[in-house]
Amino acid sequence: MSNTYLVKTLKGLEPVLAKEITDLGGRNVQSLRRAVSFEGSKAMMYRANYCLRTALRILVPIREFAAQTPQHLYNHAQRIPWDRYLDVDGTLAIDSVVNSHFFTHSKYAALKFKDAIVDQYREKYGRRPSVNKDYPDLRIHLHINHDRCSVSIDSSGESLHKRAYRLSRTQAPLNEVLAAGMIILSGWDKKSPFIDPMCGSGTIVIEAASIASNQPPQRFREEFGFMKWKDYDEDLWESIKAEAWQKVVPITAPILGSDMSGISLKIAQENLLRAGFQKEVRLRLKNFSKLPPPPPGPGVLMMNPPYGERLTPENILSLYKMIGDQLKQQYPGYAGWIISSNMQALKHIGLRADKRITLFNGPLECSFRQYKIFAGKKA
Ligand SMILES: C[S@@+](CC[C@H](N)C(=O)[O-])C[C@H]1O[C@@H](n2cnc3c(N)ncnc32)[C@H](O)[C@@H]1O
C-alpha cells in the first residue's frame, strides 16, 4: 500500500533532500517549505528513516480539515479513529505549530486537541492513554496555518539529526543534518581529499566519512517512532537494514580534520571513536595558519569558522583574511567551502565566491560559499 509522507528538513536543504528521496526510490517527490513530500510504501518509509541524511523527521499525514475555533478543532479531532493508531494503555505526545489568528494561544489549541483524543478513549473504554512528552508510543503533530489544520503521526521519534555518535558537546557544534547537507551540496566526489581545518567536535568530518562509506546515518539508533506502531513489521525492518548495509563501501578518500583547540580535538576524537571512523579520519592539533600543505588537489576544504560572537571585530576580520590567504597559497585545485553568518568577515576572505547558498545554522542566517582555487592563484 502506498502512502504520502512529509519529510521535514532545514531551510535551504529542500533540493538536497528531494534528490536523496528520489535516489532512494520515493515517487512523486515535491519540494515544499522546509519539507519534501513523497509517495511510497511502508518499506520506503523505513528506508527513508534509516538512510536519509538531510531529513529531520518523517511524518505520515492522516487528516486535514478547516477549523476556526477550539470547538471545531475538538470536533474534527474526535472524528479520527485514534485506536487505529494507539492502544488505550499506550502513551502519546502532541507537538503543535500554530500560525493563525484564529488560534492565538497555541498551547490551548494543542490542549483542546488532546482533550478530544482522550475523551474519545474514555467514552469507548472507560479509561484513557496517558501523556509522555519524551518517549511516547505515538507522537502526533498538529499544524495549524490560518484555518487549515493538518494532523500527522511521526514515524521517526527523536529528530533524525541525532545520529547517536555525539555525546560530548563543544560550544557551537553544527547540526548533523546541516553538515551532511553542506557536504552533499559541495558535490564532493568521495574519492579526493576532504579537509576541515576548524573541525571543532568533528561533525563535518564524521558526516563526510559516513557519506564516503555509504553507511546508513541512523546505524546507531535503536528506536524509531514506527516501531511502536500497531503495524510495525520487524522482518521488513530487518530486511531494509540488511539491504542498506550491502551498499556500504570502504573509504578511500583522505579525510582530515584539525583544530587549534586541544579540548575540541579531544571531543572530536571521542565522537569519531563512537562513530567508528577513528581509523578513517586523521585528526591534528594545529592552527590553520600553520597547517602543512594538503595532499595535491582536486579536493574539498570545508569549514565552519567562528562567526565572531566571542571575538573582537579586528580579530575576526584578520581570522577570515588568514583563511583566504591560506586557501590561495596552499590549496590550488581545491574547492574551499565556508559557512558563516558574518557577511562583513566573509568579505575579508579576499576571493570571489563562485557559489553562494543561503542556509540556516539554528536561527542564524548564513552564507555557504564556494571559492574555487585555481593553480594559477598559488603565490
Ligand atoms: C564554530 S566552531 C566549529 C564547530 C564544528 N563545525 C562542530 O561541528 O563542532 C569553530 C572552530 O574553529 C576553531 N578555530 C578558530 N580559529 C582557528 C584557527 N586559526 N585554526 C584552527 N582552528 C581554529 C575553534 O577552536 C572552533 O573549534
pLDDT number for residue 312: 72
- Of 229, 271, 257, nearest to 85 by C-alpha is 229
**CB of 173 closer than 6 angstroms to any ligand 1 atom:** yes
Q: Please tell me the distance between residue 139's alpha carbon and the centre of ligand 1 in angstroms.
A: 36
pLDDT of residue 377: 45
Residue 89, helix vs strand vs coil: coil
Domains of the chain in start order, with CATH, are 3-154 (3.30.2130.30), 176-214+249-377 (3.40.50.150)
Q: Which of 264, 315, 342, 349 to mutate to test the pocket of ligand 1 (most atoms within 8 A of CB)?
A: 264
Give pLDDT tens digits for 105-150: 878 899 999 999 999 999 999 999 999 998 899 999 999 999 999 9
Q: For a substitution probing ligand 1, which of 198, 266, 271, 309 has the most ligand atoms within 8 Å of its CB?
A: 198
Residue 243, C-beta contacts closer than 8 angstroms, at least 6 positions apart: 47
| pTM, 2 dp | 0.94
- 287 Cα nearest atom in ligand 1: 20
How does DSSP classify residue 25? T
- Cα separation, 103 vs 99, in Å, equals 8
Ligand 1 site, residue 204, Cβ cutoff 6 A: yes
pLDDT at site 169: 63
- φ/ψ of 281, rounded to 5, equals -115, 125
pLDDT under 70 in the chain at which residues? 168-171, 311, 313, 376-379
260 lines ligand 1 (CB under 6 A): yes
Residue 305, classed as helix, strand or coil, is coil
* Cβ of 341 below 6 Å from ligand 1: no
Q: Which runs of E-coded beta strand occur in the chain?
A: 3-8, 27-32, 35-40, 57-66, 91-99, 130-131, 138-145, 148-154, 194-196, 255-259, 281-285, 299-303, 334-340, 355-361, 364-372
Question: What pLDDT sits at residue 105?
Answer: 81
Per-residue pLDDT reduced to its tens digit, 180-217: 999 999 999 999 999 999 999 999 999 999 999 999 99
pLDDT at 378: 43
CA of 320 to the centre of ligand 1 (A): 12
Task: Establish whether residue 257 lines the binding site of ligand 1, counting it when its CB lies within 6 angstroms of any ligand atom.
Answer: no
pLDDT at 111: 93
Q: What is the pLDDT of residue 379?
A: 41
pLDDT at 236: 98
